[in-house]
Structure 1
Amino acid sequence: MTDTDTYADLVAAEDVLLFVNAAITGTGQREFHSEAYQQQLSLDFLHEYVRVNYRKVYAASLALDINDHNAVRIVRGLLETAAEATAEEKRTEGRLIAARLAKLPPQRVYRLFRALRDAKVNNRRTRAIMRDWLACRPDLAHDAVKYRSGLKTAARHVHLPLDDETSEAPRELGDFLFRPGRTPRYRLRLLDAWRRAHHEQGAVDELPFSVAEGFAAQHGMRRDAFLERMVPRMTRLERLRTQEQRTTDGGTELPAGVDLAAMPLTRLALYVLTFDFERRSRHRVELTRALRAAARRAAGPHAGSWGRVATVLDDSYSSSGSGEKRRRPLAVALACHFLLEALAVPGAYTPLWTSGGNDPLLVRPWGPTPLGTRILDALEHGPDRLVIVSDGWDNAPPGLAGEVLRVWRARIDPHRRTAVVHLNPVYEADGFDVRRLAPSVPTAGIRDAEDLPALVEIAQFAEGRTGPAALHAYLDRQVARFVNGGGTDGQGERER
């Protein structure tokens, strides 16, 4: 912080960090300590507050690793309030929105377009953004079959030309969406497969899996036989979901045809936690190998560069999450464990779970949260970095973690030889932020472990040593990188 920073600058910087933490962790769903309506009201307030007071920062958040839920809300907020933006802001916002929409799952984008239509947002910029996104879709026939209602709504809203007599494809799409039954057969393969699937079982195999499921049930096809035939047409996540279902019914325990090591790290950790202890133990070698390979990929150029690392990982009962986010906090902690192992110098990594367990593959949500005791144990190892992954509900005894960290910073390590950061995967609705352990320790929200290196960088701004100017310079760099095709801070587009 410099002498020229005013009080207003510092407040603005705190507001920015608070919103970024909320946009990373909050999804409007129920958490262990708060209900869904509390989450939604809290996010509603934050979005409006930041959009009205810091519109430039609000738009710049699209360039960070915020979650898809909040990215969609930001896009909608910017488009609904276009009249409040200057011409220069509109140009920057348009580039950010286009770059973010390209990384969102298509079903979310189509839902956004429907919401914009329902809200009667029909300005020229909105229509241009929607047309550009549709023009970049790799296969509109696929979208017409899989997201028929969404594409139909978007095409009508932006007046997409689907009656061009000089082009067979647009005319057939128009007939398929708006004049069903008029065309006896389609030249576009997917459209015709959908038509034939109403009365031919053989055509079902040609459709996307999610569409084919409905036709399979209609024809009374045996589930096992259907799934076996559809494997080549399933996405990786569809294979995993059907494999989990078949495992429950006594099928094979690891998915055939899926390279687990190629999965995103946090997604893989969530999948591992769906197995019971017996299955995890039986497949220990394969699962551990896959988790470490995913962690090395996520670490990238940072692998082995963080020196001696100690981490306190929360596997207390509250890490079970909620019905909507089942075991999500625990999965983030498990993924962070393997990523931090890859980031540390080989042989210089010390993991400490709040339960006292020492087998990461067999973690489960259990017991209280003795963060203070575990932090003391971690600091005794003299690490270069201490990373705490927890929802921040220190309760055994309450407040010990904050006191340990305060005394450590004030009396034992005032020169900050050990860098300490707290990563919290849970948004606290009442506080409009993630729960913090101590004012002297920077806290950042985390949703995917793959974002950990970037979030540690963001967390430094919360320490108050870098100043608001450095924070805004950082945001400007991320915006420039994002709109020029560099992706977000993390590992690019991931399955969320």
Structure 2
Amino acid sequence: MELLADRAAAEDVLLFVNAAIAATGQREFHSDGDAQQWSMEFLHEYMLVNYRDLYAATLTLGVNDRNAAAIILRLLQTGRDASPAQRHVEGRLIAKALTELPTHRVYHLFTALRKARVNNRRTRAIIREWLVARPDPAFEAVKYRSAFLSAVRHAHLKIEDLPGEELDAFLFGWHSAGRFATPLFETWRRAHFDRRAVFELPYTIAEGFAAGHRITRAEFLEKIAPQLTRNERLRLQRSAAWTGALGVVADAVDLSRMPLTRLAAYVLALPVEEREQRRLELTDALRAAALRVAGLRAGTWGRVAAVLDDSYSASGSSEKRRRPLVVALAAHFLLRELASDYRPLWLSGDEDPLMARARGVTALGERLLDGLETRPDLLVVVSDGWDNAPVGMAAAVLRVWGERLDPEGKTAVAHLNPVFDAAGLQVRRLAPTTPTVGIRDAEDLPELVAFARFATGRTGIAELRAHIDSRVEHWLSEETPCTA
């Protein structure tokens, strides 16, 4: 009985980790956003109540930004339920996690804490330390003005404790302050009455002023182009095409600096004709990005086969357009660099990854047979797990392979699933004995393949806890201790 309870606890933790990696609260091909949110609310509450220390430690396991923020919110809401030792570790984990979250996500979290009236000493200390450490508070005071001011007030922070000049006048009395010596503050002030100043502001700040000055979208995009960041250029390409300013935005996209998964999304968003015309450029950029991720692991994985899902369900949803296909494409290029011998197997049978598109049924069984035929050292499956041509063939193939053809497990199999199945409260599995882990970005693939060994249902909580404790120690090894 103890052994069963031990395994059940490990399965609970793994189920949550996989869900927190893959689930973003957005519509998927097979489920809507509301169902995802309800499922994740339940999983968060279940983990917090039953495994609080492991719940906090999942911040180190690659959970996505949305769920990392949700974990932090719940830990701070329920601080009175934690022991002093737990609060100490949680404070360090939270402080480190906040430095890795996108800035807008942190301000959204601080706003949620204020609305939930979470204002204990630990919360105030964490907010203060994060704000004081910001590299450019003037920029954030302009870009996130109301959220910034709310966080300052919520943490009982004195403005003079923050780096930078004129913050007090900007936040509390800009109407009567006159001219500012801080260039960004002064540009922001002038933008209220001078349309020329609008184009000197960062894009996200300028957009609101543009509407007030009745600046057309085409003119705005053309003149704001020098202020755009790399990510803003990518997001704006579609909008720019509608207004005839595509060239202004798209030409300056620097592929050499783009992360692998984001680059794969950029490539798949291009028309097929443009992908063909820019084949060499795009392929070189994807390989270079994959090589950066592989690092010293390049060529060390031996013989690898990959079953990559480009069926119709890989088209994703209106909110996560082509996301499963994006992850599959990025994983393809990364595995190519990690392996000494690599064999990609797309469900469609295509052999040109740059032209990948989502179509057809999910015939995983046949492709698994093809992949296992050469007995590779590792078989990686990147799929949402909806095996439907025929239903259940993938599970049968993996069962027979494990029981009769490879009982010694010489070929390791790992299923990486980029889609959260809200109805099942987990990422959908191919077979009970095949490890399945959630994946959000292909950059996490090497760590997730290593983590997959815990997802077979045979691991106890002690072994899993030892692995997570090791991750926590490593994750916190270079951080500045939080005093909260």
1:282 to 277, 294, 302: 277
Paired residues of 1:261 and 1:289 also in contact (CA < 8 A):
no
Question: For residues 94 and 15 of structure 2, what CA distance do their matches in structure 1 show?
Answer: 22
1:201 to 189, 195, 204: 195
SS for the counterpart of 1:439 is coil
Cα distance change on mapping 1:150 and 1:407 into 2, 3 Å: same
Question: For residues 31 and 105 of structure 2, what CA distance do their matches in structure 1 show?
Answer: 25
1:427 to 400, 420, 432: 420
CA-to-partner distance for each residue in 1:252-282, whole Å, 9 max, x for gaps?
A: 3993333213211111111111112111111
* Alignment of structure 1 residues 99-248 onto 2, 5 Å: 99-162=96-159, 164=160, 169=164, 172-221=166-215, 223-224=217-218, 226-248=220-242
Q: Which residue of 2 aligns with 1:491?
A: none
Q: Count how many residue pairs are aligned between Structure 1 and Structure 2.
A: 479
SS for the counterpart of 2:306 is strand
Deviation at 1:220, TM superposition (A): 4.4
Corresponding letter in the other structure for 2:43: L
Paired residues of 2:11 and 2:457 also in contact (CA < 8 A):
no
Corresponding letter in the other structure for 2:452: A
* Alignment of structure 1 residues 68-107 onto 2, 5 Å: 68-107=65-104
Q: Which residue of 2 aligns with 1:380?
A: 373
1:363 aligns with 2:356: yes
Corresponding letter in the other structure for 1:451: D
Cα distance change on mapping 1:305 and 1:254 into 2, 3 Å: farther
Question: For residues 102 and 5 of structure 2, what CA distance do their matches in structure 1 show?
Answer: 38
Q: Which moved more, 1:335-344 or 1:467-476?
A: 467-476
Question: For residues 414 and 254 of structure 2, what CA distance do their matches in structure 1 show?
Answer: 33
Q: Which residue of 1 aligns with 2:4?
A: 7
Corresponding letter in the other structure for 2:235: R
Deviation at 1:463, TM superposition (A): 2.4
CA-to-partner distance for each residue in 1:306-326, whole Å, 9 max, x for gaps?
A: 111111111111111111111
Deviation at 1:175, TM superposition (A): 2.6
Deviation at 1:283, TM superposition (A): 1.0
Corresponding letter in the other structure for 2:93: L
CA-to-partner distance for each residue in 1:116-135, whole Å, 9 max, x for gaps?
A: 11111010000000000100
Q: Which residue of 1 aligns with 2:343?
A: 350
1:337 to 320, 332, 336: 332
Question: For residues 162 and 345 of structure 2, what CA distance do their matches in structure 1 show?
Answer: 63
Paired residues of 1:427 and 1:433 also in contact (CA < 8 A):
yes
Corresponding letter in the other structure for 1:52: V
CA-to-partner distance for each residue in 1:182-204, whole Å, 9 max, x for gaps?
A: 21122222111100111223322
- TM-score of the superposed pair, with normalisation by structure 1: 0.92
| Unaligned residue ranges in structure 2 (runs of 5+) | none
Deviation at 1:5, TM superposition (A): 6.8
Q: Which residue of 1 aligns with 2:316?
A: 321
Alignment RMSD: 2.1
Q: Which residue of 1 aligns with 2:38?
A: 41
1:292 to 277, 287, 294: 287
Corresponding letter in the other structure for 1:342: E
Corresponding letter in the other structure for 1:363: A
CA-to-partner distance for each residue in 1:350-390, whole Å, 9 max, x for gaps?
A: 11111111111111110100000110011112211100000
SS for the counterpart of 2:175 is coil
How many percent of aligned residue pairs carry the same amino acid? Answer: 58
CA-to-partner distance for each residue in 1:221-245, whole Å, 9 max, x for gaps?
A: 4655544443443211012223343
Corresponding letter in the other structure for 2:293: A
Q: Which moved more, 1:372-381 or 1:182-191?
A: 182-191
Paired residues of 2:217 and 2:243 also in contact (CA < 8 A):
no
SS for the counterpart of 2:29 is coil
* Alignment of structure 1 residues 303-314 onto 2, 5 Å: 303-314=298-309
Paired residues of 2:131 and 2:162 also in contact (CA < 8 A):
no
Corresponding letter in the other structure for 2:259: P
Question: For residues 167 and 424 of structure 1, what CA distance do their matches in structure 2 show?
Answer: 43
Paired residues of 1:141 and 1:190 also in contact (CA < 8 A):
yes
